[in-house]
Amino acid sequence: MCSIFQSRDRSGVFAIQSIHREVRHQVPFVPSQAQLEGWVSTDRLSKYAAAPEDTVALYMWNAELTGAFFELIGHVEVLLRNVVHAQLAPHSTHGAWYDDPYYRFNTRSQREIATAKGRAGRGGRQVTSGRVVAELTFGFWRYLLTSHHQSTVWPRVQAGFQGVPRHERSRQELETVVARVHDLRNRVAHHEPIFHTNVAQHFADLTFIAGYVDAQAPQWLWETSRVHALMVSRPGRP
């Protein structure tokens, strides 16, 4: 039977090696609150200590929850950017749509586009529109839905939101929800606590955006998500 152990090489990096030996079942290690404070800082852990649940258990549960949301946000970001790209690309008369002066991108967005192009061409790769789009941030897609682009971007991209009847598509409503998801993304990306927030609303926001793209996309998110299982396993939940 094969088991795994770790050894330290001369560089100080743990190398994982495989050997044949009997696997011994061990009790999972759970750090004490004092240990965890030393590892992640007292200030960070204090946000969890005020809650009635066990501090260490809540910290670990929050980490699982943020990981689960990060997966979902990644799916939704890809859905959103792909539909925007697909709708804007055919209309461009100046090469790629993100280079078209028609959209009047502000200075910040122009910098983001330039950065995305640089990343897309790393290692001598050809800078294709697909690679540039993949390098653009969630914040960039949020910006395209603001009132600044009410008369330029929105008339072209709204046709791609086939999950919602045309008369029900609202730029303002979609922007509001995308903004909330963008804020959530920033929290989970920086490992901030979300246990005290409205977890059900976060999930609803993500399925709302997915539903704009395709009516069946929310079901896909639901069936692949770990969020709902984690919601019922929160420490201290009766």
- What DSSP letter does each residue of 52-95 carry, written as one string? SS-HHHHHHHHHHHHHHHHHHHHHHHHHHHHHHHHHHGGG-SSS
Residue 5, pLDDT > 50, answer no
Give residue-wise pLDDT tens across range 23-73: 455 667 777 777 766 766 667 777 787 776 788 889 889 999 999 999 999
Lookup result for tokens 């925007």: 84
pLDDT at 59: 86
**Of 33-37, 92-96, 205-209, minimum mean pLDDT range:** 33-37
Give whole-number Cα distances, 180 to 84, 99, 138, 185, in Å: 19, 28, 12, 9
Alpha-carbon span 13 to 182, nearest angstrom: 35
Taking 50 as the threshold, does the pLDDT of residue 4 lie above it? Answer: no
pLDDT tens digit string along 136-181? 999 999 999 999 999 999 999 999 999 999 999 999 999 999 999 9
Phi, psi angles (nearest 5°) of residue 17: -120, 150
- Over 90: is that where the pLDDT of 21 sits? no
* pLDDT at 6 > cutoff 60: no
pLDDT reading at 213 higher than 90? yes
In this prediction, what percent of the chain has a pLDDT beyond 90?
A: 70
